[in-house]
Structure 1
Amino acid sequence: MKSVTFPEAAGPEGLRLYAIGDVHGRADLLTRLHGLIRADLANNPAHDWRIIHLGDYVDRGPASKEVLDFLIEAREKDERNLVLMGNHDVSFLDFLALAEPDGVFANNGGRETALSYGVEIDFRDPKSVDEGYVALVSAVPQAHVEFIRHMPRAFTFGDFFFCHAGIRPGVPLDHQDPEDLIWIRRPFLDWTEPFEKVVIHGHTPLEEIEVKLNRVDVDTFAWHSGQLSAIVIDGATKRFIQTLP
């Protein structure tokens, strides 16, 4: 099986790629980073471009609703804005469907997501969960539900494979389990051999962008650090853009 490493990997000729890490309710940082990308395109024009958002738009930060509003509007204005699914986005839909009082959403910033829709939920109180669930289902626009539901889980451009969490080593890219693409950690992170393509991902937050021979992690803990990061791929040239904390 053919493999490629980061130093030699290249994007498609004439197509600049921007891949943005986990947003987690930080609409302010997402807006700011899109501004930096617009400035980058203005100062250094590209023949064509794509902005790839790597998932986890909701939870933890204060403005999940606003993040989804922003992404929906950006996609409607220009379909070159691409939006991948993350595990927190799926967990948000799971809560809206099942009202799990002790699931991923409840235990990982779901309260903040609900608040962004004007709904208070105390997940320690069953009555509050029941009442909050009904209110949240009513408050979340169906457009948000459908937007998340139809997000793809991976894109491929040139020598790069984009997904939220990572891939299962030893499994061809076109046979990956969709759940691995949004949930996997250790088997992927611990793998040091090259893959078919260099994987650009988020999901595992770090203080700084992590560049390995076989993958790049651009999740820099934006909701907490104030630093939202993106890799820029322009042919064989790779660089990074970040908001300042």
Structure 2
Amino acid sequence: MAIEIHSRAFEAPMIRGWRSRRARTAGQRLIAIGDVHGRWDLLDALLKAIEQHIATTPEVPSRLIILGDFIDRGPDSARVLRFLRSVTRQSERATVLLGNHEQALLHTIEGDTAAQRLWLAHGAAATLASFDTPPPQQHEFGPAFAVRAAQAIGPETIDWLRDLPLSLRIGDYFFCHAGVRPGRKLDRQSGEDLLWIREAFLADQRSYGAIVVHGHSIVGEAEIRHNRIAVDTGAYRTGLLSAVILDEPRNWVVSVRQTGNPGQSSGVNTNALATATQSWLSDT
């Protein structure tokens, strides 16, 4: 499988007020990656492209944010999970946010039959296969499948998922998986909206007091709006995984695209990539 790397610069959106100004990052370089959905190969390639990019820029403290929905649909959810657990253990500058797919997994292992069926309808079979376990038989929904799924994924990973935050605010940027409810303060948002909202948020033109950086709703390329930045470019079906690098005074979209037929998954060890990522987070 061949990988193409693309990058483009953009100006930070404006923060509106009695004296409008460009959004600021509190003196940090903020790197937000959209929905990975089990595409370990693209995540590996994107992190290496980001490392190469920031090596050409002034040294600034960096922060890595994963915007949720890193499991399901793609073939390597187990490997993505191992990497994310490893990098968050190694660096306090890496933050992983919960997405609605991870929430569905957590509800599944609690024995919620409706959640189990919802999860299976949205790509869970690929996640189960990555843990070498088959999807449930029709008679197995409920507690039996909950136990089997929990055993396959493992208690340490489940505890890690349960502890993931729903949002993160740094400077003039607010990070979450899906978006926010218009008209409600950012610190009063519901978990349901942060994980699931779509049209009410996407269609809204008002300012929120911070620029909302989100995934969840697929766009052809990362979109920079006056009030939000959309980063989910549909990696599992388009072969395009994107990140935004918010780095005063210049900001960048960095993307990797699979070209040609999918090849072998990256053979890079998850701990090795986590150590390499922690290194460039610490070096800046």
**TM-score scaled by length of structure 1:** 0.91
Residue of structure 2 aligned with 1:163, choices 176, 196, 216: 176
Q: CA deviation at 1:93?
A: 0.9
Shift of 1:44: 2.0
Could you tell me which residue of structure 1 aligns to residue 269 of structure 2? none
The amino acid that maps onto 1:225 is T
Matches within 5 A, 1:149-228: 149-228=162-241
Paired residue for 2:277? none
Is this contact kept in 2: 1:88–1:105, CA < 8 A? yes
Give the corresponding residue for 1:120: 134
Residue 89 of structure 1, aligned match among 97, 102, 116: 102
- Residue 56 of structure 1 and its aligned partner are, at CA, apart by 0.5
Q: Deviations over 1:40-92 (max 9, x none)?
A: 23222422000100000111111111111010111122221111110100101
Match for 2:52: what amino acid? A
Q: Which runs of 5+ in 1 are unaligned?
A: none
Kept after mapping to 1: 8 A contact 2:110/2:146: no
Report the secondary structure of 2:257's partner residue. coil
The corresponding residue for 2:34 is: 21
- Whether the 8 Å contact between 1:10 and 1:237 is mirrored in structure 2 is no
Amino acid paired to 2:105:
F
- Quote the offset at 1:99 in angstroms: 5.0
Q: Match for residue 146 of structure 1?
A: 159
Partner residue of 1:8 out of 22, 34, 49: 22
Aligned counterparts of 1:91 and 1:7: Cα–Cα separation in 2: 39
Kept in 2, the 8 Å contact 1:100–1:106? The answer is: no
2:218 is paired with a residue whose SS is coil
Question: Shift in Å at residue 129 of structure 1?
Answer: 4.6
How big is each residue's C-alpha offset from its partner over 1:126-184, in whole Å with a ceiling of 9 and x where there is no partner?
Answer: 13557654432221111110111001111111111110000011111111112211111
Q: Which residue of 2 aligns with 1:49?
A: 62
RMSD: 1.9
Q: Percent sequence identity over matched residues? A: 36
Counterpart contact for 2:37–2:69, Cα < 8 Å = yes
Q: After the TM superposition, which residues 60-99 of structure 1 pair with which residues of structure 2 at under 5 Å, given as runs?
A: 60-98=73-111
| Map of 2:43 onto structure 1 | 30
- Residues 208-244 of structure 1, C-alpha deviations (whole Å, 9 max, x = no match): 1122111011000011111110001012422111112
Q: How many residues align?
A: 240
1:128/1:73 CA distance change after superposition, 3 Å: same
Q: Equivalent residue for 1:239?
A: 252
Q: Distance in 1 between matches of 2:249 and 2:187?
A: 24
TM-score by length of 2: 0.79
- Unpaired runs of 5+ residues, structure 2, are 1-13, 259-284
What letter is aligned with 1:231?
V
User: Counterpart of 1:120 in structure 2: which amino acid?
Assistant: P
**Which residue type is aligned with residue 77 of structure 2?**
S
In structure 2, what residue type is equivalent to 1:108? H
Q: What amino acid is aligned across from residue 129 of structure 2 in structure 1?
A: L
